[in-house]
């Protein structure tokens, strides 16, 4: 039986590496990457020099400025980091066709069968690191194991350029580590129970799991998943990135906010853009996902579908999804609407539904203006006010 090998490539602090690549003067200076230059923004990445100055991840920009004036605060350059990610993806894809990107700085590689080509699988890992460095000038680390879970944990806790966990030794590798490296521990109930039991390493979880009845009493429905993760058991395959036909609209707020009226107006702006594109395609969408990205890095989302493509109907669905997803009090950093699984839109006249016909006719009239002068040429007053307020708050 051919042994399975899953690589996890991590570009540590990709934001900081990218900024120092563009400006070499930053290589020895304390630097922090911030979500927004507004006082309510927060630190999302920082250098070791900045940590020595007392700054920490998640710290508010206003607090960082008061604490230290020597640290250079840089705005989050999403387009730069996306380009770096794209170059790194092309580099690692040369070694296997099965590559699964994970966020902006991580990649899973299914290297099944590579042992028949190269006797030492770690040599392949070093070749990947060298290739990424040659193409992007960024440093990376590689974790190797039989599954995605353990490989990803390796790169998060081991500082070495490359490290391999032998098949069958996953449980021993995880035993001394802190429980927070396991994905299921992010669940609130699991985290509270582990804290209540004073459990500070995974080996203790493994010991409790020996008695399944007691284990289930403590952790409830999460017990089976926690048991498997604590032993390094994971059957999830590496899924290559799929290019799907979709409509994607997003807005990144210049100033983080939780003002409900302003957020509703921004959702309206996104829904109008989506509806305009759907009508141009003359298609409905069976899948629509609205994502809310908060300033502290958390995300919430809701799924739905579009059964009509006029502005009012599309806005109604997006507003329901937003209200359902926005269950936190934290300020919002970005909004995203992703639409896919399209099917033809067939207009069927209804003698008893004059209102729907009027709404669709109005949407079509607006489309004629926007097609000629641009999507932003005609907007609702609340949308225009929200966009102007967002721009003003960033200056």
As beta bridge partners, residue 26 has: none
As beta bridge partners, residue 212 has: none
Q: What is the reported pLDDT for 11?
A: 93
Residue 330 — pLDDT band, cuts 50, 70, 90? Answer: confident
> Does residue 303 or residue 350 have the better pLDDT?
303
* % of the chain at pLDDT higher than 90: 45
Query: 102-120: per-residue pLDDT in tens?
Result: 988 999 999 887 766 666 7
Statement: residue 224 has pLDDT above 90:
yes
Measure the N-to-C terminal CA separation of the chain; round to a whole number of Å.
62
Q: What is the reported pLDDT for 294?
A: 84
Query: 173-197: per-residue pLDDT in tens?
Result: 999 999 999 999 988 889 999 999 9
Residue 351 — pLDDT band, cuts 50, 70, 90? Answer: very low
Q: What is the reported pLDDT for 295?
A: 77
Q: What is the reported pLDDT for 24?
A: 86
Range scoring the smallest mean pLDDT among 157-166, 214-223, 288-297: 288-297
Question: CA angle at residue 264 from 258 to 267, to 5 degrees?
Answer: 110
Residue 376 — pLDDT band, cuts 50, 70, 90? Answer: low
Q: What is the reported pLDDT for 2?
A: 56
Question: Are the beta carbons of 314 and 308 closer than 8 angstroms?
Answer: yes
Give the integer Cα–Cα distance in Å for 336 and 294: 12
Q: What is the reported pLDDT for 232?
A: 94
With 0.95 as the threshold, say if the pTM is over it.
Answer: no
Q: Please state the rounded mean pLDDT for residues 147-157.
A: 95
Statement: residue 347 has pLDDT above 70:
no
Burial class (CB in 10 A: 0-12, 13-18, 19+), 72: middle
> Does residue 290 or residue 349 have the better pLDDT?
290
Q: What is the reported pLDDT for 280?
A: 86
């Amino acid at each position: 039986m051919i042994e399975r090998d899953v690589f996890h490539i991590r570009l540590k602090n990709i934001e900081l590496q990218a900024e120092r690549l563009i400006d070499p003067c930053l290589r020895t200076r304390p630097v922090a990457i911030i979500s927004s230059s507004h006082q309510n923004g927060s630190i999302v990445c920082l250098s070791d020099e900045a940590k020595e100055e007392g700054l920490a991840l998640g710290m508010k920009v206003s607090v960082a400025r008061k604490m230290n004036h020597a640290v250079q605060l840089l705005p989050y350059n999403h387009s730069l980091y996306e380009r770096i990610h794209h170059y790194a993806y092309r580099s690692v894809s040369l070694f296997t066709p099965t590559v699964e990107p994970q966020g902006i700085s991580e990649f899973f590689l299914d290297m099944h069968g590579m042992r028949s080509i190269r006797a030492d699988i770690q040599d392949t890992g070093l070749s990947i690191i060298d290739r990424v460095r040659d193409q992007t000038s960024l440093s990376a680390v590689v974790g190797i194991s039989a599954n995605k879970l353990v490989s990803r944990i390796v790169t998060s806790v081991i500082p070495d350029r490359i490290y391999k966990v032998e098949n069958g030794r996953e449980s021993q590798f995880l035993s001394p580590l802190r429980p927070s490296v396991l994905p299921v521990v992010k669940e609130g109930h699991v985290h509270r129970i582990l804290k209540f039991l004073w459990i500070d390493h995974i080996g203790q979880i493994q010991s409790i799991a020996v008695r399944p009845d007691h284990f289930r009493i403590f952790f409830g429905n999460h017990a089976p998943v926690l048991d498997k993760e604590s032993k390094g058991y994971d059957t999830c395959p590496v899924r290559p990135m799929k290019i799907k036909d979709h409509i994607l609209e997003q807005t990144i707020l210049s100033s983080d906010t939780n003002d409900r009226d302003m957020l509703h107006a921004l959702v309206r702006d996104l829904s109008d853009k989506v509806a305009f594109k759907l009508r141009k395609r003359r298609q409905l969408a069976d899948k629509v996902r609205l994502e809310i990205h908060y300033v502290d890095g958390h995300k919430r989302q809701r799924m739905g579908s579009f059964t009509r493509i006029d502005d009012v109907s599309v806005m109604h669905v997006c507003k329901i999804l937003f209200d359902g997803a926005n269950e936190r009090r934290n300020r919002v950093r970005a909004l995203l609407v992703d639409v896919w699984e399209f099917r033809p839109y067939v207009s069927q006249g209804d003698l008893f539904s004059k209102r729907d016909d009027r709404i669709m006719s109005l949407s079509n009239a607006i489309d004629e203006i926007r097609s000629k002068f641009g999507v932003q040429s005609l907007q609702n007053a609340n949308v225009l006010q929200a966009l102007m307020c967002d721009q003003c708050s960033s200056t």
